[in-house]
Chains A and B, each alone.
Chain A
Amino acid sequence: MTLRPDLAIIAANVAAGSRVLDVGCGDGALMAALRDTRQVDARGLELDAGDVAAAVGRGLSVVQGDADTDLADYPDHSFDYAILSQTLQTTRHPDLVLENLLRIGKHAFVSFPNFAHWRVRASLLFGGRMPVTRLLPVEWYATPNIHHVTVDDFRAFVQGRGITLEGSWFLSGDQRCGSALANLFAEHAVFLLRR
């Protein structure tokens, strides 16, 4: 089973044997990979009941819940890593979700599609339409992405909040790309943070 590229980056950088909370874990693909390849004690939080049933059905510990409301119930530093992959832009209060993530995990992985990628810009600039791309595949009225964010927005947020940046990875297609022009050329960003 091949992991999505951003998940593969996260999986490769999680310390073996650690405790992980995957927020928005979907059907548990990352959790299962972490459990099977890195002996990680993984827990998940997922909104969709069908995904939760699938994850529990594969033997994972997943709680149905909402990142916007249910993270408050997790104790401080109860996990080595809290992971939020492809979920930040769907939350109602991304800033609060991030603060909770950094409170619950000693480290936090955050991945999101970059809204400043050149193809997104071109779509708006030349087409005058909300972009529908590979990573943003849904029309404006149906998209779950309600808080679009760019690589530079996120960098500014991290700096402004005094959050420690421990690592960053950028993807164009399925290939890694450089940090310098990431805001223009990265389709997808992965950040490792700590408070």
Chain B
Amino acid sequence: MSLSQLLLTPFAGALLVLLVPGNYRVVHRFIALVTSAITAIGAISIFAGFKTGVAGMQFEEYAAWVPAAGFGYHLGVDGMNIGLVLMASLVGFAATCVSWDIERQPKLFYILLLTMIGGSLGAFLSLDLFFLYFFNELALVPTFIMMGVWGRGENRNYATFQITLYLTLGALIGLSGLALLYSQSGANTLDWVTLKVWLADKPLSSHAQNLILPLLLLGFGTLVGLFPFHSWAAPGYAAAPSATAMMHAGVLKKVGLYVLLRVAIPFFPESMNHWATPLAVLAMGNVLYCGWVALRQRDLYLLLGNSSLAHMGFCFLGLAAAGVIGVTGVVLIMVAHGLLAALSFGLVGHLTKATGSSDLDRLGGLLKTFPFVGGALIMAFLAGCGVPGFANFTGELTVLFGAWKSFPVFVIAAAWGGLIIGGVYMLRAIRDLLHGPLREGSVKSGDAGPWRRVPFLVLLAALIYFGVNPASLVDRITPTAERIAGTRTATATTTHATAAVTSHAAH
């Protein structure tokens, strides 16, 4: 399967659903399920066919679009996005599966969901930053609509509004950064591969770097929930339908990080040096602050939302450290967290539906009634607090190693946040939700049947596979990570050398 075919599959599915009249509900479901399954299988085959140990783009495709402005349809995968593409497709499949019994306007729901899957795939696959941005927006808009129409809870409207506002503003700020990059680089293109070659030769002036990078960090950071621009996340996921929360927390949120990895580190080496410490401080905001907030939550969605923000802190710490170990760690966490967030939101969605509540004070002892969902949720909670055997541990471990030399104090804080604070709220959740005696009258329907288990099993299998055999992912990431991080190290050394020469001359 080529990358274009992979990208087009969900959109073709959306179009098909659109064409089938509204009362053929089973057909809509079926089309959505089949297209997302084909997408997942395609992504697996591309992941398997991806050559390890190679740094350049693979499966590349290019078509000029607006040659005058330098815009082109350019797809390709390298170490930065190959894992994300796989993750996005698996999560997309799982999200379609858990949407099986959407009652209200299923046709529109499936169109939006497939658009979201296609949009996020497009964002990860596009090497032209303009298209990357376009696809990201294309996936964001359905997020807002799905929350508004199919959302849950009393705070739904407020949460929808908040998330729309934050993410739209964040995207616009990020866009202005990209636009400035376009105008300042002089390359007359936003094509990443061309820009990389161009900027290696003619790096951006310090002035331009210091002007643009903050916009990118702020804009794309907000899309990820960088502290203190994070308050949209937890209530947003609490209000979103399961599939949307899975797709956004799992997949779409990673686009911001992905852009920062691709653009900020290699193109803004000097400015990144400058911003590394503030970024690491904000990362601690995510890990510790959001972790402590998670400690207080009695609603499962708010707990998961805040814990997800805490995990993003590890990514920002890795970004700030920016060495090859750090960058590899960030990609590992992005993949792992995508799978985990989808798994947790999906499972909690099932429990909420079956019990009518997501309030930890009203639930308890559910493991007896829900041996599968409860057991899987215990695994998800354990993965969420960094238990080895799941991919999240390897990612966080790698980031800790990668950041240790630059930010030892922050690494200590992050380890505390991940191992202790994370451990406390995750184990408390298991204790209150699943262990202990069953609360009377809280269960309306039962455990997931064999077919309902499929999406969860797929996500768990991927989490465990990458947790046990991280090399399968690391060996694909590292060659590219070396190139991306190499830019910064090289520049840092030259800067030091220049500084040394200058100070020498001054004497």
A and B bound?
no
